[in-house]
């Protein structure tokens, strides 16, 4: 049994942390001090802002909740002594950020015994703050948001992305794009899964799919979609975290076209 938290007060803390990490982002954005390095492939980059953002979040979480575990993109798993786990991506959309493109986010999720109960996604350059607490709805800058009601592909604009190993692994989502694109009004590639999910929650994208994500990419965003009236389902078990998001009818239509 895990100790109960006041999730609304915890949300206030997480929002404050996200905004402070956003300030770290903006202090480096379009500057020459990014210290860009590569990780798993040449396409998978990390910057000074990623590292500083994660260091800040780790210190904040461990200072307030020393018994909580943390899973971070840059530093991995940090053990705790409770059923609570924070899942953090200090800078989702690092390629965008490193190129000077304005779509990038900080993503903070909180899980209780494996279930996500709180999510914050903040896009500092766009001044967009997406929040959700389990059972409490989803919000953009304090205003309620709702998934799209569209139920056909011909009128739909969807989001997707491509894995970092796309150049060496033919299981790279390109066949899915070829399969579904002729049936759509349009496709968008935002470059950050957390933001794709938030756009789906707000109804600006009618749906979204991607394969080979990590939990930190989608933990907070998935809850925001669900609290906005949508669903998030897994469509692959052998390619990392592979998900489809949208309203139930749209998710089923997407599932019929991709694999």
Q: Are residues 48 and 125 in the same domain?
A: yes
User: Which of 144, 169, 202 delimits the end of a domain?
Assistant: 144
- pLDDT for the residue numbered 40: 80
Is there a domain that residue 209 lies in? yes
- Contact yes or no for 212/184 (Cβ under 8 A): no
Residue 3 has pLDDT above 80, yes or no: no
User: Which of 112, 144, 176 delimits the end of a domain?
Assistant: 144
Q: Are residues 217 and 140 in the same domain?
A: no
Helix, strand, coil % in the chain, rounded to nearest 5: 35, 30, 35
Enter the DSSP assignment of 3: P
- pLDDT for the residue numbered 1: 45
Q: Are residues 134 and 78 in the same domain?
A: yes
Is there a domain that residue 50 lies in? yes
Structural domain of 112: 7-144
Q: Are residues 166 and 87 in the same domain?
A: no
- pLDDT for the residue numbered 214: 97
User: Which of 144, 162, 177 delimits the end of a domain?
Assistant: 144
Is there a domain that residue 2 lies in? no
Angle (CA) 139 242 179, round 5°? 105
Q: Are residues 124 and 42 in the same domain?
A: yes
Q: Are residues 213 and 175 in the same domain?
A: yes
Q: Are residues 30 and 80 in the same domain?
A: yes
Per-residue pLDDT tens over the stretch 163-189:
989 999 999 999 999 999 999 999 999
Predicted TM-score of the model (pTM): 0.96
Counting the structural domains of the chain, the total is 2
């Amino acid at each position: 049994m895990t100790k109960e938290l006041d999730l609304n007060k915890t949300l206030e803390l997480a929002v404050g942390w996200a905004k402070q990490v956003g300030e770290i982002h903006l202090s480096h954005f379009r500057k020459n001090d990014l210290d860009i390095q590569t990780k798993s492939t040449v396409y998978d980059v990390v910057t000074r802002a990623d590292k500083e953002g994660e260091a800040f979040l780790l210190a904040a979480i461990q200072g307030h909740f020393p018994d909580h575990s943390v899973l971070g993109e840059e530093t991995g798993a940090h053990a705790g002594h409770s059923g609570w786990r924070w899942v953090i991506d200090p800078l989702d959309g690092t390629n965008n950020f490193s190129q000077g493109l304005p779509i990038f986010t900080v993503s903070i999720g909180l899980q209780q015994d494996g279930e996500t109960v709180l999510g914050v996604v903040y896009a500092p350059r766009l001044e967009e703050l997406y929040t959700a607490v389990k059972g409490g709805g989803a919000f953009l800058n304090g205003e309620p948001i709702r998934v799209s009601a569209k139920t056909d592909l011909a009128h739909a604009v969807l989001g997707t992305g491509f894995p970092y190993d796309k150049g060496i692994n033919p299981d790279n989502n390109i066949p899915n794009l070829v399969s579904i694109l002729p049936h759509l009004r349009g496709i968008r590639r935002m470059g950050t899964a957390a933001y794709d999910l938030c756009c789906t929650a707000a109804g600006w994208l009618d749906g979204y799919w991607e394969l080979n994500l990590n939990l930190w990419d989608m933990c907070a965003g998935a809850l925001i979609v669900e609290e906005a009236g949508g669903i998030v389902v897994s469509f692959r078990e052998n390619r990392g975290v592979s998900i489809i998001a949208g309203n139930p009818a749209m998710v089923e239509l997407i599932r019929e076209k991709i694999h």
